[in-house]
A and B are shown apart, each in its own frame.
Chain A
Amino acid sequence: MEDKHVYLSESWRDEALKRLQAELTPEKMNNVTTSMSNIYKTCPDGVEHFLFLACEDGKVTRVETGTGEPPEAVFRIIGNYETFARISRAELGAQRALMTGKLKLKGNLTKALRLAAVSDRLNKVLAKIPTQY
């Protein structure tokens, strides 16, 4: 049985970067340069966590996880841990979570919508990581 990575742990982060770089070509990422910080509220350990992703010219260059203030990003998405976990388990679509108010977006909505498909591609890769929540 495949080892599971603890969600948002260092090993999960490294696996995420490895898979995103391997599976998403710059073309699939529309050669986009952008960044995003997911802010996790109401985490099981009682501490606020973040997941930061950055792409340059379509290549995923950084995946960071941690607690406290996340790195500056073009977009910030704020929600409960469980909502993000459901998205990562592919039980809930990110767009649906946003459009039902379960997630809150901060940033330029016009630009964000142009990245909706790219965001879905990222989430699909992350969903395949064997993860322990």
Chain B
Amino acid sequence: MTRILDPNDKYYIDNPGRVQAIQAEMHKRDIDVYLGSRIRTMSFVMDTFCPWRSYLVIPPEGQPFYFTFVVDSMRVADETWVDEDHVLAYGPMGGMEQVSAITDLIKDDLGIKKGRIGYEDGISTWTAEGNLSHWEYTNFKEALPGFEWVNAHDIIDGLSIIKDKGTIERFRTASLIVDEGHKAARAALENGGYKGMTETVIAGIAALAMRKAGSVSEWNFAGLNEISSGYRTGLGACTPPTTKEIQAGDPLMLDFHSMFKLALGDHSHNYLIAPATKRQRWHADNFVAIVQTVLDNYRAGTTPGTLAAIMMDFAESRGCGDFIQPACEHGIGLFGDEWRIGAVVNPDLPYWTDQNHVYSENEMVVCAMQYAAPEEHIGFRYENDIVIVKDGCEILSKYPLGIEEIS
């Protein structure tokens, strides 16, 4: 049954208003119909989990039409706010495969025979972004002669950059859920509990705690709950858990992910499994101080480039500049919206974060820092959802910053 939107719900999002804002922007750009294909677009508009290849056809006015693989269309119709007649399916049948179904809708049902189509092109660092593929573009173009195709993903990107109250509330809850994962992991590790425990098991312990607290997914495409121990902590910022057993003397990095109403909880916390060496403690103290310095400097009006420079200067002053990676955040939004900061395509390095992007109030990022000394078999990672405010930032995971030694 179609979801009824309740403006009094603390997690309420004005989804019809979002569609109207997109349509207003389409009108400004003389775009007659918008064909969305990215996961972030589905999340932003449909406000439900859309994991299968989906398309969103946004007409100049009225509700959007959503297409997904037929196996999932009824579930989406049951969960989204868009009415059932606007949730459509494609499938392996004559006239019902993606290109026929969507072009028929545009030409026959919407009556748009020619004009300008906005679509979503580009590139991303993660595989699942969902830009229109070359095959799709070529075949849609052939099936819709007389249309001019305009890359217009920045409409959605621009409208989704400042988070509304309901979205921020969802992220607050998602982050508190992640904290439950960290509490459960901490309890499982202490008092020798780590002995014989593998990275995969600690990932599962946290996942169960987060699910009990209301998370529906560990969402992260790079390995769900990412765990590294020992030398693996120095290998970089993607560590899907392995069956490696956690050992005494290991550094340990726990990067947990929760999803609550499409908001993405993401918090990394680090430990030293006793006995820690003085050198390990020095690295750990460096990292905590660097993280605190960066967090202290977020505010509306600053830029990614400024923060990176502050971070690097501070690390250099402590003699650990060689170990810190020169960036301190990635973008975040509802499911599918990751990585790039800002909405404008950076002309110097297209589809990478513009280092001169100026943060605004109620913009969100994942503050993300990576410290790695692979030769010394140690590294740390920090991630935390933050909301930029006028004079600072709101840190959403409340799990205390620090690197404890546990035994």
Contact = CB atoms under 8 A, between A and B. Distances in A.
Interface string A91-102: 000000111111
Contact of B94 (A101, A108, A110, A113): A101
Contacts of A97: 94
Interface stretch (B95-103, B194-202, B398-406): B95-103
25 contacts: A78-B95, A98-B93, A98-B94, A98-B96, A99-B92, A99-B94, A100-B94, A102-B94, A103-B95, A104-B94, A104-B100, A105-B93, A105-B95, A106-B108, A108-B85, A108-B88, A109-B73, A109-B89, A109-B91, A109-B93, A109-B96, A109-B101, A110-B73, A110-B88, A110-B89
Q: Which of A105, A108, A109 has the most CB of B within 10 A?
A: A109
Contacts of B108: 106
A11 B78 CA distance: 44
B187 to A, nearest CB: 45
A102 B95 CA distance: 10
Contact of B70 (A78, A103, A113): A113
Contacts of B123: none
A130 B346 CA distance: 70
Interface of A: 78-79, 97-106, 108-110, 113
Interface of B: 70, 73-74, 77, 85, 87-96, 100-101, 104, 108
A109 B89 CA distance: 6
Closest 5 CB pairs of A and B: A104-B95, A104-B94, A101-B94, A109-B89, A98-B93
Contacts of A101: 93-94
B29 to A, nearest CB: 31
B61 to A, nearest CB: 21
Nearest to A104: B95
B6 to A, nearest CB: 26
Most chain B CB within 10 A, of A105, A108, A110, is at A110
Contacts of B73: 109-110
Nearest to B90: A109
A102 B91 CA distance: 14
Of A98, A102, A103, the most chain B CB neighbours within 10 A belong to A98
Nearest to B88: A108
A103 B73 CA distance: 22
A101 B91 CA distance: 11
Given A99-B93, A103-B94, A105-B95, 7 more contacts: A79-B94, A98-B94, A98-B96, A101-B94, A105-B93, A109-B91, A109-B101
A125 to B, nearest CB: 23
A110 B70 contact: yes
A105 B74 contact: no
A109 B70 contact: yes
B82 to A, nearest CB: 13
Contact of B95 (A100, A106, A108, A110): A106
Contacts of A113: 70, 89, 91
Contacts of B93: 98-99, 101, 103-105, 109
Identify the interface centre among B85, B89, B90, B108: most chain A CB within 10 Å of its CB: B89
A110 B104 contact: no
A55 to B, nearest CB: 20
A110 B90 contact: no
A110 B87 CA distance: 9
Contacts of B95: 78, 103-106
Contacts of B88: 108-110
A113 to B, nearest CB: 6
Contact of B104 (A100, A103, A106): A106
Among B87, B89, B91, B94, residue most surrounded by chain A Cβ atoms (within 10 Å): B94
